Amino acid sequence: MAEPFIKIENLSYTYEEEDANASPVLKELSLRIEKGEFVAVLGHNGSGKSTLAKLINMILLPTSGKIFVKGKDITIENMRDEELLELRKTVGMVFQNPDNQLVATVVEDDVAFGPENLGVPSRKIRERVDRVLRDVGMLEYAKHEPHRLSGGQKQRIAIAGVLAMLPECIIFDESTAMLDPLGRRDVMSAIEKLNREQGITVIMITHYMEEAAVADRIVVLDDGKMILDGTPSFVFEHEDRLRECGLAIPQGTELIHKLRRAGISLEGECVTLEDCADLIERSLENKGN
């Protein structure tokens, strides 16, 4: 079997500095993520999903277990600064609050900050900044002040700043949680485009089922353990198990499940809202015929 892009083996983490008697946030978690995959990680508050994101990016160090990125063990003690920098170039991270990632007073300067610190030549920085701003639909705002932008626009600038580092993988840690529905839609569109068109590996930490529905795969965490792992269709079929750990399936999917239980024939996947609408439309057409 080929080596996965990210391999996690028996990973555990405890916030010991806060409480000597604290229970582990993650408990011997093992997970494989392939290059180019779009993986959504779901779980209620305290399930360990954001802790997992910070461990993969080495913001936190595991209590026990191993994480391998491109075959390299990143959990070795005393990792050198240059090794940590290389990891952050390979695996970028976008946080919940974009204001925490914006460092300059002009959009294009903010996006250029990362490459400048890597010593990238000025001409190439200019090319990168223009390209990544175009990729996230923000090129026309290059001369704007970030603090005057909407939440969704700020988050797309934060994504552009990570993209300018040329990462192979981006972790989105609840990156739409503070946004209104329009902002969430815009950011999700940008994330999907990066994955589908550029092949960037995406790990999306979220509690929005509708966002998870567009992923290739969903991993569900509960009490620090993985309880489900599979396609959105597979995971959403386990409605009772999801409810037990404080999660609900998308409303459209729930409606289709109720209609099926009522005896209405609806054949096909019911993952996205569009899927569900298509199933109902076909059923009505068949009934009319």
Are residues 107 and 138 in contact, defined by beta-carbon separation less than 8 angstroms? yes
Given this model, what pLDDT does residue 87 score? 84
3-state secondary structure of 189: helix
What pLDDT does residue 20 have? 58
Alpha helices in 164-272 (DSSP H): 181-198, 209-212, 232-236, 239-244, 251-261
Annotate 146-180 with DSSP letters as a single string. GGGS-HHHHHHHHHHHHHTT--SEEEEESTTTTS-
| Phi and psi angles of residue 90, each rounded to the nearest 5 degrees, phi first | -80, -40
pLDDT number for residue 218: 97
Which pLDDT value is given to residue 142?
95
Token reading at 241: 């198990």
Q: Which amino acid is at 45?
A: N
The predicted structure's pLDDT at residue 19:
61
For residue 150, what pLDDT is reported?
93
Residues 111, 189, 97, 15, Cα dihedral to 10°: -110
- Contact indicator for 259, 266 with CB cutoff of 8 Å: yes
The pLDDT, as a whole number, for residue 281 is 87
Matching residue, tokens 């959105």? 232
pLDDT at 289: 58
Q: What is the C-alpha to C-alpha distance for residues 269 and 266, in angstroms, rounded to an integer?
A: 9
Per-residue tens of pLDDT for the chain, all 289 residues: 678 999 999 999 998 765 656 788 999 999 999 999 999 999 988 899 999 999 999 889 899 999 999 999 998 877 777 888 788 889 999 998 999 889 999 999 999 999 998 888 999 999 999 999 999 999 999 999 999 999 999 999 999 999 999 999 999 999 988 888 888 888 899 999 999 999 999 999 998 888 999 999 999 999 999 999 999 999 999 999 999 988 988 888 888 889 888 888 888 888 888 888 888 888 887 776 5
Give the pLDDT of residue 17: 61
Per-residue pLDDT, 129: 95
Residue 88: the pLDDT is 81
Q: What is the pLDDT of residue 79?
A: 76
- Catalogue all structural domains in the chain, each as residue range(s) with its CATH number: 6-104+148-237 (3.40.50.300), 250-289 (no CATH)
Antiparallel, parallel or unpaired: β 217-222 and 64-69 = unpaired
Structure tokens at 6: 């990210």
